[in-house]
Structure 1
Amino acid sequence: MSNISWLTRHPIAHRGFHDLNRSRWENTLSAFAAAVERGYAIECDVHLTLDGEVVVFHDNDLARLTGTEGFVWQRTAAEFAALRVGGTADHVPTLAELLALVRGRVPLIIELKGIPGKDNGLVGKVAQALRSYSGKVAIMSFDHWLIRQFPGQASGIPAGLTASGDRPHEIEAHFSMLGHGISFVSYSVVHLPNPFISFVRHRLKMPVITWTVRDQQMVDKTFAQADQMTFEGFEPPLVA
């Protein structure tokens, strides 16, 4: 396992350092620039476009973030470049634009968003973009079918499981992912503690980050049960 101690060194800005989508929206170049300026690591989400490019965008559908109808997989990268996020001057960026902006100045944790039947090639495209990137970067996903592709298509890139839940069948499903080369876990703070997180932290010595931390109670819970937080809505100190 490669050394990924950098993953937990600084707080991680959830979808960049946005202002809860008042004027600086999530997953925009403005939010990413604000995170870099403050020295925060960046968490972001990526999808595959109709023409096989990778864009930084969270939702499957376009309505909440762009005010337009349709789904992410129905638009090309050029069409995304023309869409404005939240009525601001920010467009939907490509992964290449994000990498060019950050330039290794802070770590990146990229969550791959799968859509069954519409995401073929996403893992390979992300890995291709990251091969020539010299900064600290990791990938992760909720989607087990994508995680199963990580060892073959994104070997050498630190990879993690994004997860939630504390019911027995959910915990069992998370344990099943340990055989697919993951080296960290990003877990919902509201579902801590649980047996899976205790096992990966204390037995496997894997780092665990939490999502999404929004208040001091969640900060305290994170550092009691995990190693670092993915936060939004406030400005934490760089040294927790």
Structure 2
Amino acid sequence: MTPLPPVFLDRPIAHRALHGAGRPENSRAAIRAAVAAGYGIEIDLQLSKDGQAMVFHDYALTRLTGANGPVQQRSASDLAQLTLIGGTEGVPTLAEVLHIVGGAVPLLIELKDQDGRMGPNIGVLEQAAADAVAGYDGHIAFMSFNPHSAAAMARLCPDRPRGLTTCAYTVEDYPTLPADTRDQLRGMPGLADMGASFISHHYTDLSSPIVADQKARGLHVLCWTIRSPGEEAEARRIAENVTFEGYNA
């Protein structure tokens, strides 16, 4: 297990960076704002058509750019030419974000599941992420909802902390996942294989006995996504740190 450095616990983590007016989520502007405020930063990775790790949350482009189609059907250069809604810049690569952060604050990187099944069909995005962070001196931790993805990062970047992004996996939130897959994921599989040092769990389910079990085993507990001081105060009764948006934590 690669330990999670204290810097991931001593300051709130801005969800998709410090986004707001003029600063779309996961944008360069939001990254710069989070660095200036001294917050940790959580970002998401999707894969471009030409195999680049792109800092973008959704699978489809519509909500965040107004363009049609999935991220995976556009090259990194094409994605850079789009304009994120509410901002003036295109979709950044992970390498560009690392350059902006420059080690100033910790970076929590979530790799999005690429086939919608949370299964072992992984590898290209994970390799792209590992290539991008090679030689970076700042604090990075990787996580994913897909345990196979997080385990891949353990093999590719054994010196970087890994964790599992987790939740209650209700049928309402994950209607396309089979019931047996949801049941398996709810149990937080693969923590040993990935050498996990933390979990990041949905804040409404922090009282789960499974969370308590992992905390008792010595894993750090982070949570997502807090949207008010009241939610933060409640979450911190169990979680050691919060991922937040929409207010100044």
Q: Deviations over 1:124-167 (max 9, x none)?
A: 12112212100011010011331232222222210110011077
d(CA) in 2 for partners of 1:171, 1:7: 29
Are 1:194 and 2:208 matched, yes or no? yes
Given that 1:46 and 1:54 are in contact with CA atoms closer than 8 Å, whether structure 2 keeps it comes out as yes
Are 1:185 and 2:199 matched, yes or no? yes
Gaps of 5+ in 2: 171-178
| Shift in alpha-carbon separation, 1:48–1:25, aligned structure 2, 3 A | same
Are 1:175 and 2:178 matched, yes or no? no
d(CA) in 2 for partners of 1:148, 1:156: 13
Alignment size in residue pairs: 233
Are 1:165 and 2:168 matched, yes or no? yes
Deviation, structure 1 residue 171 = 6.7
Paired residue type of 2:229: Q
Match of 1:50 in 2: 49
Given that 1:124 and 1:154 are in contact with CA atoms closer than 8 Å, whether structure 2 keeps it comes out as no
d(CA) in 2 for partners of 1:39, 1:52: 31
- For residues 31-110 of structure 1, the aligned pairs below 5 Å read 31-110=30-109
Greater mean alpha carbon deviation, residues 187-196 or residues 30-39: 187-196
Give the fraction of aligned pairs with identical amino acids, expressed as a percent: 36
Gaps of 5+ in 1: none
d(CA) in 2 for partners of 1:217, 1:30: 27
d(CA) in 2 for partners of 1:108, 1:148: 19
- For residues 94-133 of structure 1, the aligned pairs below 5 Å read 94-116=93-115, 120-133=123-136
d(CA) in 1 for partners of 2:99, 2:155: 26
Please state whether the residue corresponding to 1:224 is helix, strand or coil: coil
Match of 1:208 in 2: 221
Greater mean alpha carbon deviation, residues 175-184 or residues 163-172: 163-172
Paired residue type of 1:179: A
d(CA) in 2 for partners of 1:90, 1:73: 19
Q: Deviations over 1:6-64 (max 9, x none)?
A: 21110000000011xx4211000000000000000000001111001111000000000
Please state whether the residue corresponding to 1:225 is helix, strand or coil: coil
Structure 1 length normalisation: TM-score? 0.91
Structure 2 length normalisation: TM-score? 0.88
Given that 2:147 and 2:191 are in contact with CA atoms closer than 8 Å, whether structure 1 keeps it comes out as no
Please state whether the residue corresponding to 2:18 is helix, strand or coil: coil
d(CA) in 1 for partners of 2:83, 2:123: 26
Counterpart among 132, 136, 144 of residue 147 in structure 2:
144
Match of 1:218 in 2: 231
Paired residue type of 1:51: D
d(CA) in 2 for partners of 1:29, 1:191: 31
Please state whether the residue corresponding to 1:148 is helix, strand or coil: helix
Q: Deviations over 1:205-231 (max 9, x none)?
A: 111111000012311122101100000
d(CA) in 2 for partners of 1:88, 1:17: 13
